[in-house]
Amino acid sequence: MTDLEQLYQALRMIGEDPGLILSGDNAHVVAYGHQIVSRQSIPGVSVTAQTTEQGIEAKIVIAEGRQVEQPIHLCFGLFERFGVQNVVLDLVMEANAQATLWSHCLFSVPDVARHAMQAVIRVGPGAELRYQEAHYHGASGGMEVVPRARVELERGARLFSDFSLVTGLVGKLDVDFDVNVGEDAVAELTSKVFGHGMDRIRLKERLVLAGRNARGLIKSRVAVEDDASAEVIGITEGNAAGARGHVDCTEIIRDRGMVSASPVVKVTHPEAKVTHEAAIGSVDRQQMETLMARGLAPEEAVYRIVGGLLR
Amino acid sequence: MSPRNDMPLLELRHVSLRLDGRQVLRDVELALLPGEIHALLGANGSGKSSLAYLVMGCGGYRPEHGELLFGGKSIAELPIHERARLGISLAWQEPARFEGLTVAEYLSLGSPKRNAAECLDRVGLPSGEYLARMVDKALSGGERKRIELAALLALGPKLAILDEPTAGVDMLSLGEIIAVVESLRETGSAVLLITHQEELAAHADRASQLCGGRIVFGGPPEEVVAHYKARLCRRCDGETCHD
């Protein structure tokens, strides 16, 4: 099977239609390894992508006022046992643009591989970006995933980001997102990760509520089992009048798993307010007993609870 | 072999329960017939919820002494899900919340006998509005309790344990909760109805009063309610039945 066929198959396995993604109606960048399979601009969405010595460099610009109806797709994959994929992404949303961006990261094949993403994202005044990044891993446990993002939300901009890695073994994950939230802007970062085996997870997300009335939420949902471990750091800084932030970490551990959660709140303006909540523990007993009282066996109940948390 | 109608569905024989060194139930004798609605009254801390958890098999609630029979067979050693599969289920006084689980999914757990939408409508929650909602913190306490009752209606167990179904629910909902109890009766479920609510207890076939971990009085619900309200108990080692 060729790499392209494997890519198509992987997309079908996650419920996506490769024909639709690669159609002329959808803006997209599709790459395996450092090879760009397809890139597509559409009116109002400029997509450029090239292979460099370091990896892939892509730039997406969504024009001012453009409301992009269909999701913009980024598909990245590796279909060999060993490999490296470095991606540098520059995403610009001009004023009052609206778009949804789906990033599919398909790494079910490699035994040992590294995927690194360096993203710089600017969401212009009044613009709204819905960003979903979903990883699909295999059973090797040899993946290393290193996503980095620096995000700037300008006045009245909105960002809703959803990162998930709940399929397969994580391997090693090291997330570092840093978002500067301007006046009247809103940022919601949600991360969901399920670690098994010897997985090592580090999630570091930082929101700086820099502008007046900036609002932000960091929500993490992490479950670990076997010998997996996770370190979750959610930092929110309230630096302006009317800034409101919240950090919400819920983590479940089973077996010999280990999690640390550090919701860090820092306020430098007397009219800002940042709150946090963190809960780490085994699966909640009353939740378990409630589901078991419906006839679910203990393992089914755990599956339901953890699955729901990571949904 | 299914139990005969005159044979208790649930039977507690001289059951005692100790939790963290404290005697919670003492020599409890209680029997429910198939299809019977049995109200259990008692003051806060009298052991009503503990008795519910013991019958359901919740963690740590194992009889210290006595027998716990369902359909004539001992269930004392069975875990919760095996008791549930025999036909016991519980609506919790303060039901758990679940992220990522819709009301429709919650009502389809187990092997439901009734349509989820119909059951929601029955407890006063419009199904069109609620089926797609999550059973999470966004629900009010009253909404969550109604969903719990709807789940039991959908399941149609042989024995439904309702732990304080009116607690935290507005007074106007009492009629709907009574309708749920009657609906369970119509479908052949026995109901162990733990309540403080006189109007609700009046719908039972029989009632018992629990005090200091003992069943101190039993009989027709109106007599037990009167006994409970008049503080007529004289079997509590000299202590007052309830305050």
Per-residue model confidence as pLDDT tens digits over A143-153: 999 999 999 99
Q: What is the pLDDT of residue B233?
A: 58
Q: State mean pLDDT over A100-118.
A: 94
Tell me whether residue B2 is in a domain.
Answer: no
* A115–chain B nearest CA distance, Å: 29
CB–CB contact A307 B100 (8 Å): yes
Q: State mean pLDDT over B27-40.
A: 97
Q: How many angstroms separate the CA atoms of B38 and B31, rounded? A: 9
Structure tokens that stand for B163 in this block? 């732990």
Is 60 exceeded by the pLDDT of residue B2?
no
Check: complex ipTM more than 0.95 = no
Is 60 exceeded by the pLDDT of residue B118?
yes
DSSP secondary structure of A240-271? STT-EEEEEEEEEE-TT-EEEEEEEEEE-STT
Tell me whether residue A237 is in a domain.
Answer: yes
Tell me whether residue A19 is in a domain.
Answer: yes
Q: Are B50 and B25 in contact (CB under 8 A)?
A: yes
- Nearest C-alpha in B relative to A288: B96
Q: Report yes or no: B138 at the A interface, CB cutoff 8 Å.
A: no
DSSP secondary structure of B156-208? --SEEEEESTTTTS-GGGHHHHHHHHHHHHHTT-EEEEE-S-HHHHTTSSEEE
Tell me whether residue B108 is in a domain.
Answer: yes
Is 80 exceeded by the pLDDT of residue A24?
no
Tell me whether residue A251 is in a domain.
Answer: yes
Tell me whether residue A297 is in a domain.
Answer: no
CB–CB contact B85 A286 (8 Å): no
Q: What percent of chain A has pLDDT over 90?
A: 86
Tally of domains in chain B: 1
For residue A244, what are the contacts with CB-CB under 8 A and spacing of at least 6? Answer: A209, A213, A214, A215, A216, A238, A272, A273, A274
Is 80 exceeded by the pLDDT of residue B237?
no
CB–CB contact A308 B155 (8 Å): no
* B28–chain A nearest CA distance, Å: 23
Tell me whether residue A294 is in a domain.
Answer: no
- Nearest C-alpha in A relative to B86: A295
Confidence of residue B235 (pLDDT cuts 50, 70, 90): low
Task: Give the residue numbers spanning the domain of B217.
Answer: 10-230
| C-alpha closest to that of A143 among A166, A101, A172 | A172
- CA distances to B46, B55, B163, B238 from B49, rounded to whole Å, are 8, 10, 7, 23
CB–CB contact A294 B89 (8 Å): yes
Say whether A93 sits in a helix, a strand or coil. Answer: strand
Q: Which amino acid is at A304?
A: R
- Nearest C-alpha in A relative to B155: A294
CB–CB contact A286 B151 (8 Å): no
pTM to 2 decimals?
0.82
Q: What is the pLDDT of residue B243?
A: 41
| C-alpha closest to that of B213 among B64, B34, B60, B72 | B64
Tell me whether residue B111 is in a domain.
Answer: yes
Is 80 exceeded by the pLDDT of residue B170?
no
For chain A, what is the mean pLDDT? 94
Tell me whether residue B36 is in a domain.
Answer: yes
CB–CB contact B111 A307 (8 Å): no
CB–CB contact B90 A293 (8 Å): yes
Tell me whether residue A233 is in a domain.
Answer: yes
Q: Between A and B, how many residue pairs show a Cβ–Cβ distance under 8 A? A: 61
Tell me whether residue A63 is in a domain.
Answer: yes
Pick from A221, A284, A292: which is nearest to B81 by CB? A292
Pick from A293, A296, A310: which is nearest to B56 by CB? A293
Pick from B89, B98, B155: which is nearest to A305 by CB? B98
Other beta carbons within 10 angstroms of residue A271's beta carbon come to: 12
Is 80 exceeded by the pLDDT of residue A234?
yes
Tally of domains in chain A: 1
Is 60 exceeded by the pLDDT of residue A30?
yes
Q: What is the pLDDT of residue B111?
A: 86
Tell me whether residue A187 is in a domain.
Answer: yes
Q: How many angstroms separate the CA atoms of A41 and A60, rounded? A: 9
Structure tokens that stand for B185 in this block? 């009766």
Q: State mean pLDDT over B146-170.
A: 92
For residue A190, what are the contacts with CB-CB under 8 A and spacing of at least 6? Answer: A160, A161, A162, A163, A219, A220, A221
Is 70 exceeded by the pLDDT of residue B1?
no
Q: What is the helix (H) or strand (E) element at residue A21, kind and residue range?
A: helix A18-21
Q: Report yes or no: B89 at the A interface, CB cutoff 8 Å.
A: yes
Q: How many angstroms separate the CA atoms of B26 and B66, rounded? A: 10
Residue position matching structure tokens 């709907």: B176
Task: Give the residue numbers spanning the domain of A16.
Answer: 3-283
B90 contact residues in A (CB cutoff 8 A): 293
CATH code of residue B117? 3.40.50.300
Instruction: Pick B241 or A303 by higher pLDDT.
Output: A303
